[in-house]
Amino acid sequence: MIQDFNGRTAVLTGAGSGFGLECARIGAARGMNLVLVDVQQDALSAAEAELAGTGVQVLARRVDVADGAQMEQLAHDVQARFGAPHLVFNNAGVGSGGLIWENTVSDWEWVLGVNVWGVIHGVRLFTPMMLAAAARDPDWRGHIVNTASMAGLLTPPNMGVYNVSKHAVVSLTETLYQDLRLVTDQVGASVLCPYFVPTGISRSERNRHDEAAAPTRSQQVSQAMTDKAVASGRVSAADVARLVFDAVAQQRFYIYSHPQALGNVRERMLAIVDGQQPPDPFAARPEVGQQLRAALRQG
């Protein structure tokens, strides 16, 4: 566990907005060296200016986390400037909805590239650095936090590509936790599973490299429903960032922004254990399911 953050180094992807930026603000308030990573240059530059103004050391890099070579250069730059990071927040993410058979190969490559390969690169590059630092110093402590989603524990319809990517992050992080326990007590891991929180991810198409196809009806419906859910959320990105730092300090693995949603997770797990059909995701709010079915069956 990390309880004293002062003078420690944090690497944060998706640091230009949302959870990444809010965690960077907390890190700055606690005296951490900050490595800010984002693909959107204007947001990154604004974050760099703000956080450098607090007096902490800041290294900002425009990086596409899906690109292995760019991530390798980032890891080299971090090692050269600060040494092994104490906190790695593999947080960059994008969203995409629609009926699962309507998603293009490009959709799959984009979402899995950022959401899954971005985390893979962060884990494969920074974990060895952290383990080496721990081997040199028995008092050294580190922690890795990967951002998944409640969609990594559930299977809501009309957002299959995103679900697949976030289930992969949950599995990857649970395995990371178990693997770390085999070799060290000095480096921990956590998975962040937020629900609908305003972060900007619902508009992540703005940073897509390729040209997306015209959205299908199901993708338009998914976007509208996501926007509505996010807009009605009462938990902020800053609230979630505080939960992240609390979890790191307490060595808590699962981080939930909306623990009330765990009832749906329990129902899903019970259905798996009992060999039942997947439960109705709209059982608690049948009107939402009715609206979605009606929207998709029009025309």
Rg over alpha carbons for the chain, rounded to the nearest Å, is: 19
3-state secondary structure of 299: coil
Rounded CA gap, 257 and 236, in Å? 9
Give the HSE-up count for residue 226: Cα atoms under 13 Å, Cβ half-sphere.
Answer: 24
Quote the CA–CA distance of 106 and 100 in Å, as a whole number. 13
Distance between CA atoms of 127 and 134, rounded to whole angstroms? 10
- The two structure tokens encoding residue 137: 């110093």
d(C-alpha 155, C-alpha 264), whole Å: 10
Residues 63, 37 contacting (CB under 8 angstroms): yes
Active-site annotation, residues: 162
